[in-house]
């Protein structure tokens, strides 16, 4: 009897892992290809030119537009590589690197991360405005705080020494993507098992109870606790992929999905990404403290505003009536 129960549990586990992975890869693979085409056609350079005037508004050299453009389309690591090559001829202060880093942390890898959030049921336009607008606002606030107080005006020192790939061929790029996708599969498998253990052991309920005051302040439901924590620590790709599964099952309300993804859009992969940006020479005040505080405050405000508007307006501008 116990053997039959275990086999049934194992079968459902495998089905869930492959369902989540399949849905995620359906989103990621086409976007990875499109981003590669944009890079090869020089699209990122054009975006960098558009961003140049905006960089000056937050106290950064216009040339840093290329760094943020690379980050927006590719990822934080790609932006960091561009930065270290440019910083040799145009070094920044600690304050400037912190401003740039804070913006990179809020808005990066948008093609993939926005599509994942869209699949979970939140509208792309809202998330795009939230992440880019939030990045600019946080960057502007950090710039004003540091410049008015004369803080962090010393030259920055980067500890980031990227490994330059010796294989720039299409096959080399393809193998790198396959390796990345395999790692994503392994992480998702571990997360699904971890979530099941949390539920079966009762730890998930304990976590929800302990975090209830914080969730209440943010306007988030208790059912989003474990997935939100995963997203905050590991990133939108993992937290979002799990939310897609929950949205399809109907176990979490649209409002809770909206609130969870609003928070994850601004505050995710809090350990790894923060450390990466600090390797560039950024200060922890902007890379972590201001970033998290601003994300919590903005989430609390936006969730309350979303609850105050009519269902018709909520469905029309913020979420999709059904997961896409």
pLDDT at residue 163 in the model: 62
Least confident of 81-85, 158-162, 180-184: 158-162
Do 286 and 205 meet the contact criterion of CB atoms below 8 Å apart? no
Burial class (CB in 10 A: 0-12, 13-18, 19+), 6: exposed
* Beta-carbon count within 10 A of 167 CB: 10
pLDDT at residue 161 in the model: 75
Q: Which residues contact 93 (CB under 8 A, 6 or more apart)?
A: 152, 153, 154, 155, 156
Indicate the pLDDT class of residue 166, thresholds 50, 70 and 90: low
Give 155-187 as a DSSP string.
Answer: BP-----PPPPS--SHHHHHHHHHHHHHHHHHH
Both tokens of 63, joined, read 């040339």
Q: What is the average pLDDT across 170-174?
A: 85
Q: Which CA distances in Å does 164 have to 62, 104, 167?
A: 25, 21, 9
Least confident of 114-118, 127-131, 172-176, 286-290: 172-176
- Could you give the CA distance from residue 274 to residue 282 in angstroms, rounded to a whole number? 9
Q: What percent of the chain has pLDDT over 90?
A: 49
* Beta-carbon count within 10 A of 197 CB: 11
**For the chain, what are the domain ranges?**
2-30+113-154+170-317
Residue tagged 């474990």 (tokens)? 226
- Could you give the CA distance from residue 56 to residue 92 in angstroms, rounded to a whole number? 13
């Amino acid at each position: 009897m116990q053997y039959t129960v275990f086999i049934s549990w194992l079968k459902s586990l495998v089905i869930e892992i492959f369902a989540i992975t399949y849905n995620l890869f359906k989103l990621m693979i086409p976007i990875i290809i499109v981003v590669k085409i944009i890079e090869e056609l020089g699209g990122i350079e054009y975006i960098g030119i558009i961003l140049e005037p905006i960089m000056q508004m937050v106290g950064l050299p216009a040339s840093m537009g290329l760094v943020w453009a690379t980050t927006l389309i590719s990822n934080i690591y790609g932006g960091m590589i561009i930065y270290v090559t440019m910083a040799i001829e145009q070094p920044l202060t600690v304050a400037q690197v912190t401003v740039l880093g804070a913006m990179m942390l809020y808005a990066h890898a948008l093609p993939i991360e926005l599509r994942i959030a869209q699949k979970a049921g939140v509208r792309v336009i809202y998330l795009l405005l939230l992440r880019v607008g939030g990045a600019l606002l946080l960057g502007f606030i950090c710039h004003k705080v540091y410049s008015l107080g004369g803080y962090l005006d010393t030259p920055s020192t980067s500890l980031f020494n990227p490994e330059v790939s010796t294989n720039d061929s299409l096959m080399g790029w393809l193998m790198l993507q396959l390796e990345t996708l395999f790692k994503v599969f392994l992480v998702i498998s571990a997360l699904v098992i971890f979530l099941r253990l949390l539920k079966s052991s009762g730890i998930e309920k304990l976590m929800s109870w302990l975090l209830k005051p914080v969730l209440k302040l943010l306007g988030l439901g208790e059912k989003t606790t474990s997935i939100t924590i995963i997203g905050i620590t590991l990133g939108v790709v993992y937290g979002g992929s799990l939310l897609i599964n929950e949205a399809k099952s109907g176990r979490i309300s649209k409002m809770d999905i909206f609130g969870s993804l609003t928070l994850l859009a601004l505050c995710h992969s809090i350990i790894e990404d923060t450390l990466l940006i600090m390797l560039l020479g950024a200060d922890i005040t902007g890379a972590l403290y201001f970033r998290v505080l601003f994300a919590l405050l903005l989430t609390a405000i936006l969730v309350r505003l979303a609850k105050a508007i009519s269902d018709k307006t909520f469905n029309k501008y913020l979420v999709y009536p059904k997961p896409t």
